[in-house]
């Protein structure tokens, strides 16, 4: 199945949707999904591939493209050509000018339209963002419909142009608390394409309940092309209570009554200190000084629980792996062994986002793409969808594809 990925970033959603990546054994509940693991290596497992293949990706960040191409280049010979370093606004305009931009016969579109204007960590301008589609401040000459807070409308345009059977949009939980923003977005998406889409009521997914060792909440929108659905699927998806066999939202795999949540201790256990590793992503961490509890990012992780939300931040706002006693550190045993205060490394942040260890984030410049620094790596990791969460979504859709669309 051909997948078109929008606002792709460094590819957390794309990795999850393609599968066949390495994650921690505890992230997969084999009591519920016994066929998801195809290879085992102590605490680490390789998950099964899916039916989805990313044939188009885009973003405006050169560092995100460099990282995406570095990882997917091991799987796809044309990875650099697949990833388009263009704003979605410019891509749509190119199509309307008669240029061929998007591949034909797209089955599914995914996209995490920019969340800064809906996030509680930002200024919450929502649809009235003062940022342009390229990320800079709006000028008086730019149409307001091209502001960052309305880029979902351009995603709707891509859906109209490519007519996928299904689209999946992702954003921060804060979007659901802004007046009627969620309902407006659902209504706008439903009008995409000829004949429209059934957009099921958006839900918030809590990442730890799907095997992700991080307190992260994301709202997910599913839209099904009406004309592609079977009559039974159409009726089920439009019902007030969607039957389980048609529900696009994956069932929880971790938490109360299920497999225990994955903790920081479990996901980080085999990592050595930055001074002892050869992994460039584990060597690099923010050296920003402690700024006090009144500032964001000045707490240490709790080893016996899930990690904090990995934000798209840099240096001074990156949480601590451990604090000193002077700053309220609780990891006494580590401190007594002589381990010192430091913030989370790039690799530790990536693991909390369930990126596989063969994804390298600290990159040198190539003929095709720019270098990626530690500061840039922190940002693109924080922007990503956790790979394991995306995998849960993908596998649920894969398992139900035939009953939705009647395809064998």
Whether 264 is a known active-site residue: answer: no
Most distant CA pair in the chain, distance: 66
Q: Is 278 exposed, middle or buried (0-12, 13-18, 19+ CB in 10 A)?
A: exposed
Q: Measured between alpha carbons, how far is 384 from 45 in angstroms, rounded to an integer? A: 21
Closest C-alpha among 371, 233, 352 to residue 303: 352
Place of tokens 């007030």: 240
Task: Kindly calculate the radius of gyration of the chain based on its CA atoms and give it in whole angstroms.
Answer: 21
HEC string for 50-104: CCCEEEEEECCCHHHHHHHHHHHCCCCCCHHHHEECCCHHHHHHHHHCCCCCCCC
Query: How many CA atoms are closer than 13 Å to the CA of 278, on its beta-carbon side?
Result: 1
Q: Any residues with CB less than 8 A from the CB of 259 and at least 6 apart, and which? A: 26, 29, 31, 211, 253
CA 290 to chain centre: 29
Torsion region of 313: left, alpha or beta (phi above 0 gives left; psi -120 to 50 gives alpha): beta
Q: Encoding tokens for residue 8?
A: 């792709």
Please give the angle made by the CA atoms of 234, 176 and 293, to the nearest 5 degrees.
Answer: 145
- Among residues 115, 264, 349, 387, the one annotated as catalytic is 115
How many CA atoms are closer than 13 Å to the CA of 170, on its beta-carbon side?
A: 26
Cite the active site residues: 115
């Amino acid at each position: 199945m051909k997948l078109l990925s929008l606002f792709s970033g460094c590819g957390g959603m794309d990795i999850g949707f393609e599968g066949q990546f390495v994650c921690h054994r505890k992230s997969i509940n084999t009591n519920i999904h016994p066929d998801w693991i195809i290879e085992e290596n102590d605490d680490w497992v390789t998950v099964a591939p899916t039916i989805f293949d990313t044939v188009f990706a885009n973003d405006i960040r050169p560092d995100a493209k460099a990282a995406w191409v570095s990882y997917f280049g091991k799987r796809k010979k044309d990875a650099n050509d697949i990833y388009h370093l263009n704003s979605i606004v410019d891509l749509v305009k190119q199509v309307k000018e008669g240029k061929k931009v998007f591949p034909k016969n797209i089955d599914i579109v995914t996209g995490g339209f920019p969340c800064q204007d809906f996030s509680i960590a930002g200024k919450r301008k929502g649809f009235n963002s003062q940022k342009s589609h390229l990320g800079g401040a709006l000028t008086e000459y730019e149409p307001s419909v091209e502001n960052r807070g309305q880029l979902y409308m351009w995603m709707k345009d891509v859906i109209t142009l490519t007519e996928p059977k299904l689209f999946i949009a992702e954003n921060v939980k804060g979007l659901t608390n802004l007046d009627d923003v969620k309902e407006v977005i659902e209504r706008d998406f439903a009008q995409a394409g000829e004949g429209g889409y059934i957009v099921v009521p958006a839900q918030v997914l809590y990442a730890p309940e799907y095997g992700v060792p991080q307190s992260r909440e994301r709202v997910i929108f599913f839209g099904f092309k009406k004309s592609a659905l079977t009559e039974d699927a159409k009726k089920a998806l439009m019902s007030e209570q969607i039957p389980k066999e048609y529900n696009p939202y994956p069932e929880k795999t971790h938490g109360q009554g299920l497999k225990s949540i994955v903790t920081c201790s479990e996901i980080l256990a085999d990592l050595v200190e930055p001074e002892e590793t050869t992994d460039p992503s584990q060597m690099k961490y923010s050296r920003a000084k402690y700024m006090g509890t009144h500032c964001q990012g000045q707490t240490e992780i709790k080893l016996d629980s899930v990690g904090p939300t990995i934000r798209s931040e840099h240096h001074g706002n990156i949480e601590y792996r451990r604090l000193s006693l002077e700053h309220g550190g609780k990891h006494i045993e580590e401190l007594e062994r002589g381990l010192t205060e430091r913030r989370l490394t790039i690799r530790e942040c990536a693991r909390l986002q369930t990126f596989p260890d063969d994804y390298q984030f600290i990159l040198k410049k190539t003929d095709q793409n720019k270098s990626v620094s530690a500061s840039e790596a922190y940002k693109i990791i924080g922007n990503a969808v956790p790979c394991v969460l995306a995998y849960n979504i993908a596998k649920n859709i894969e398992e139900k594809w035939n009953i939705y669309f009647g395809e064998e």
